[in-house]
Structure 1
Amino acid sequence: MTESLLLASHDLPARWRHRRVFTFVDTTFSVFPSLWQRWRADEQRCDRLHVVAVAPLAALDDPPCADDPTLIAELARVWPMRVPGVHRLEFDDGRVVLTLAIGDDTQALLSKLWLRADAFHVDATGDARTLCKTLARFAGDGATFSACAADALHAPLRRALEASGFACSSASTDTQLIARFAPRWRVRRHEPPLPCDANLREAIVIGAGLAGCAVSSRLAARGWRVTLIDRHALPARDASGNPAGVFHPIVWRDDSVAARLTRAGFLYALRRWQSLEDARHDLLRSGAGLLQIADSADDADALAAAIARFAYPSDYVQPMTRDDAARLAGMEVARGGWFFPRGGAISPAAVCAAQLADASAHITPRMQTDVTRIAHDGKLWRAFDASADEIARAPVMVLANAHDAARLAGLYGAPTRSVRGQLTVLDPGALDALRMPVIGEGYAVPLGAQGTLIGATYDIDDPDREIRDAGHQENIERVAGMLPGLAPTPNRVRAGRVAFRCVTSDRMPMIGQLADEIAARRDAHRLSGAWPLDLPRMPGLYGAFAFGSRGLVWATLAAELIAAQIEGEPWPIERELAEAIDPARFLLRALRHGEIAPA
């Protein structure tokens, strides 16, 4: 289909004019450059253009072609690694967003996304009935459809479209189908995402660590005004205040939900950090990669086989023999493992500072302010201090304050726990030969002239804030188990720090819109077989907490997911991954198991 015919089939650019968001879904992997060029040329364009492209893994071999060499260069600069999943690429200050959903079964992958589409351009091959039912779940009011269909596919596709609520246009031809979503009956159980009902684009974010700063940044990028509240005098004072943190994806024998989520978070964080560095913010990020030492020789062999089976590219992960690992590390290692060329260490506090500085025009910090209670008056969320004085009010509130989030929200079943983590800084000389961060049973991060950061203990429900000699010894012994050149003695300890991680029983974070637990309890019998989309939700209340040890990898993706949910934009991950981190998942399990009686 030619560019002019494609635009005419969807009445573009007229339909996106004066719109806040316009979303175009493409399963042919061909329309993004044309739409982007047309958007740039239109002075009355929508504020944000989303293009969701679904394609097989081979599509990542090369970016799509474009007539404009500047577009080609911009695509090439941010083009993702050749790994499956959802990749979100941003252009023109985030106003043009290309979401690539990559997998070998494109029709199955399309069904796993969650969005409200204004237009579809599809590859008509495959099961027409399944395809059209999926499109009907995503279609916004009056969404348009176009496809090139060979003779044998034309009639089945037309029937499937009409059965799914689309009305085929008289402008269709023998080889081209044009349609519009105009159902005369209910064709879906749930409505696709809509923006939250907020006349004022204002939000309160509670917590100024990695999660809260990332959320504030992603909302500010969409033009929201954010009041950022924290009990400390400066951002990044708790776990986010550690001297450095490691970042890397995880590779397991199966491509589990946790592995896929961590991969998505890792790749999205790299893109956002690069954007901050391009704006001349120094994140104190290492550049030599990160080495993971296997727990055993069998694990090293099994993961090497998994890397080969999944055909991960070498810029994502590489298996390492013991000799290979020692050569990269610059010192003896206990076992082989695997190497992440794009992994490393970074300063969490520097990331937070850069995000706030980059969005300073839209963010009002309220430091040294402790929120003791929140309330909703039917329209606005309000935050109160210990004297019952109101701190701020806004239609949207995001709880990013780790351990305190569950208390403020009154979540069912005390879903989070506190884990004490003591880290150790060794004097220079202890591990001077180490060339890069190394992880395994513990971690070791070179800090240059400041020594080496190692850690960290994992003390569940231990509130002690004092630094313990036993904790230093435990850290040293763990790292010595990976790096035998480290003498297991505490006489080289330079400093220590204690921080508290917030974790859940399933070790997955809490990210997304919170459930209306009072309404759910009232309707417990009907919800005994509920799915996440069935649950009543608290209007305008979201959470981003319980990141455990993976705040650096998860925080930025969490912020983008929450911002997308607030704005009714396409989600940056598959729906099943979002459901695995849904803050309402523990309530949902209790309802399914009959553990909650109707109120």
Structure 2
Amino acid sequence: MTPNPATSSTGRAFHWRERDSFVLLDSEFGSGEHFFAAWQAWRDDPQRPLQLHYLALLPQLATLHNLQQAAARFPEWQAMYAELCSAWPPAVPGFHRIFLQHEQLVLTLMIGDGAACLRQIVAKVDVFRMLGPSWQTWPVAALGTLGKLAAQHATLDICGLEAAARKQLQQAGFVFENDVDNRLESDTDLTISCARFAPRFTARSVAAIIHDDRRAIVIGAGLAGSAACQRLVQRGWSVDLIESHAAPAQQASGNSAGIFMPVLSRDDNPGSRLSRSAYLFALQAWRRLGGIGTAFTGASCGVLQIARDTEHAEGQQQLADFWRYPADYAQWLNQAAASRLASHPVSDGGWYFPAAGWVQPRSLCQAMLDDCSNRLQTHFGKHAALLDRGQDSWTVRDRHGVEIANAPVVILANACDALHFPQAEDLPLDAIRGQITTIEVGQVPAIAPVLCGEAYLTPASEGLCSVGASYDEDQQQTLRQDSQDDNLARLANILPGWQAGALPLAGRVGFRCVASDRLPLVGALPDKTGACAVREAKLKDLPRFPGLYSLLGYASRGLIWAPLAAELLVSQLNGEPSPIEADLAAAIDPARFLLKKQRRNTPPHQ
């Protein structure tokens, strides 16, 4: 019989009842049996917490077959198994957030080395379950991390505990009760040890700001702002959306088609890891919204990314041999296979992303805003010009000083227009011109997947294909022939034998908001005038404007950045576990530039 996770494995009642949120960390997800049992117990408890976060460590992703075997033994789990399978991610490393039960149950799978993943968790954990052998392979020092993650009155159930590990946990603040002779079915020789978190001393740290008054103002109704509104409303916030145009998605998000796909690299650098998390999270978010091609315009037709040249193709082949990505995530195809897939000769081999594709951003923005119900108040045609900070709230005013909205939280999602506010004027953001060329069907090869490389080509929609996009350093807002010629020449390079011929000047100009390091700015804005009491400051030590946040710098990847960035920010606002690793959240923290500047200007110790 599987233990009922409404109690611990020792029979102690979990203290989740009548809580708004509860966080459980499981070191041994295995085939999901403990997770299904926890889900069942949570669902059956009339006094369950409003939201249950289940954080699960696992060295590699369980297969759907293993999940099915676990669920098959319990008929009452079949519906849960089906819901989980529909959201199960590809078997790639990293953190994967899965929403279940109308987003009241949040499963975060953390795939990779357990000790390394543990150090990347940002959460306050109420219950630790260490009931398998995996944790015993960790360095003993890694157990000290549990104390940093523990919420007040957290409890710990652990088996296979030896003296060195017990001492480490005691030093981390855990007080052990008498060991319980409660044998696990799979490990009949292991005894469960129980502890509660009761540290003798509490380390001084910067407390996370959690907003009890859940009212926010979002400035900007493009992809960034629309996603923020949708995620905030889903978490019970009331939102005022301010947009200077008469409708959403009128600037960079107004293009007829945008591509969504991940970025690959041999060293799996932070940019690649972030793009992988953002891409997979976006796919899940869009399914919950109603689906591509149903709730909004677009298609999951796949994306074929062609190598630049022979040398680049050889490097990508080596990358494919090294990482061996699962086929549902990424496949390397040689030139012949890529040409067959494209239904036209292509210049070289390429990566095929079968779940990727294209989306019309404006329709996606509208779908996200439509999902917000009456908790969203829109202010279209209003220009946010001034930010005034009161005692505990912000007032947004127009150019004439007239109040548009007031709330404790303001989120800047208005791209480079954010630089007009003094609080954000030092952010290293630039507007990069991008011109897209539109071509009528029949003047370009009919392709099934999106084709990209040095340029991109989308399948036809409403009789038109999109080609682009230029990267220009000027600020001209009208179409230019040289930008169109460049788009078509780059496309011709990856489609041997095709020539554009004489085409009318047609398309659209937009301006990407790009940070100096090409990563987004997600989180609390730094206050450069504020005092920092720590000489060698870290990100958490830097002063911030209270209640002022940014979702900026999405560059050419707003489609995939928007859902994950909004989820990360809302998790920070609500004090919930982070959906991504701590080092990745730090890589997109808006204060990273101020920290680098301070470190450059700080003299070394004498």
TM-score when normalising by structure 2: 0.92
1:277 matched to which residue of 2?
Answer: 290
Partner residue in 2 for 1:137: 148
Distance in 1 between the 2:89 and 2:483 partners?
A: 40
1:8–1:255 distance in 2 versus 1, CA, 3 Å: closer
Cα deviation code 1:9-62 (max 9, x no counterpart): 588765212211111111111532111111111112111110010111143565
More off after superposition, 47-56 vs 153-162: 153-162
Q: What is the distance in 1 between the residues matched to 2:144 and 2:59?
A: 21
Aligned equivalent of 1:16: 16
**Aligned residue in 2 for 1:475:** 487
Change (3 A) 1:450 1:5: closer
Greater mean alpha carbon deviation, residues 54-63 or residues 246-255: 54-63
1:567 equivalenced with 2:574 (yes/no): yes
Secondary structure in structure 1 of the residue aligned to 2:82: helix
1:160 alignment counterpart:
168
How far apart, CA to CA, are the structure 2 residues paired with 1:579 and 1:354?
30
Q: What's the secondary structure of 2:280's corresponding residue?
A: helix
**Aligned counterpart, 1:392:** 405
Give the distance between the partners of 1:553 and 1:590, measured in 2 at CA: 29
- Stretch deviating more after TM superposition (532-541 or 368-377): 532-541
Q: What's 1:184 paired with?
A: 200
Q: Is the 8 A contact 2:446 2:459 kept in 1?
A: no
| Number of the residue aligned with 1:466 | 478
CA distance in structure 2 between the aligned counterparts of 1:448 and 1:432, rounded to whole angstroms: 14
1:96–1:6 distance in 2 versus 1, CA, 3 Å: closer
Would you say 1:252 and 2:265 are equivalent positions? yes
Q: CA deviation at 1:470?
A: 1.2
Give the distance between the partners of 1:466 and 1:585, measured in 2 at CA: 35
SS in 2 for 1:517: coil
Deviation, 1:553, is: 1.2
User: What is the root-mean-square deviation in Å for CA atoms of aligned residues?
Assistant: 2.1
1:99 corresponds to: 108
TM-score, normalised on structure 1?
A: 0.93
Aligned to 1:546: 553
String of CA shifts for 1:495-519, please: whole Å, max 9, x gaps. Answer: 2111100001111111112223221
SS in structure 1 at match of 2:225:
helix
State the Cα distance separating 1:479 from its structure 2 match. 0.8
Letter in 2 for 1:422: Q
Do the aligned residues in 1 keep the contact of 2:436 with 2:484 (CA within 8 Å)? yes
CA offset digits 1:69-108 (Å, max 9, x no partner): 11111111111101000100001111100000101x1111
Q: Could you report, residue by residue, the CA deviation over 1:447-486 in whole angstroms, capped at 9, with x for unpaired residues?
A: 24522110111112x2211111111111111111111243
Q: 2:215–2:408: 8 Å Cα contact kept in structure 1?
A: yes
Taking a change above 3 Å as real, the CA distance of residues 54 and 407 of structure 1, as seen in their structure-2 partners, is: farther
Match of 2:210 in 1: 196
Encode CA deviations 1:355-405: one digit per residue, 9 max, x unaligned: 111112221111011001112213112111101111111111111010022
- C-alpha separation in 2, matches of 1:340 and 1:280: 18
Alpha-carbon spacing, 1:27–1:254, altered in 2? closer, same or farther (3 Å): same
Give yes or no for the alignment of 1:506 onto 2:506: no
**Structure 1 counterpart of 2:315:** 302
Q: Displacement, 1:195?
A: 5.5
Among 484, 487, 509, the alignment partner of 2:499 is 487
1:532 pairs with 2:539 = yes
User: What are the ranges of 5 or more consecutive residues in structure 2 without an aligned counterpart?
Assistant: 182-189
CA distance in 1, matches of 2:432, 2:270: 23
Instruction: Confirm or deny: 8 A CA contact 1:118 1:143 kept in the other structure.
Output: yes
Distance 1:344 1:297 in 2: 25
- What is the DSSP-based 3-state SS (H/G/I as helix, E as strand, rest coil) of the residue aligned with 1:22? strand
Cα offsets for 1:253-288 (capped at 9, x unmatched): 221100000000000000011111259943222232
User: For 1:563 and 1:585, how far apart are their aligned partners in 2?
Assistant: 20
CA distance in 1, matches of 2:571, 2:594: 23
CA distance in 2, matches of 1:271, 1:4: 29
Paired residue total: 583
Pair 1:146-2:146 in alignment: no
**SS of the counterpart of 1:331?**
coil
Q: Distance in 2 between matches of 1:247 and 1:459?
A: 22
Alignment partner, residue 94 of structure 2: 85
Change (3 A) 1:394 1:181: same
Q: Is the 8 A contact 2:115 2:139 kept in 1?
A: no
Shift of residue 134 of structure 1?
0.8
Residues 473/571 of structure 1: CA separation in 2 closer, same or farther (3 Å cut) = same
AA at the equivalent of 1:294: A
Calculate percent identity across the aligned residue pairs: 39
* Cα distance in 2 for residues equivalent to 1:385 and 1:169: 61
Give the letter aligned to residue 41 of structure 2: R
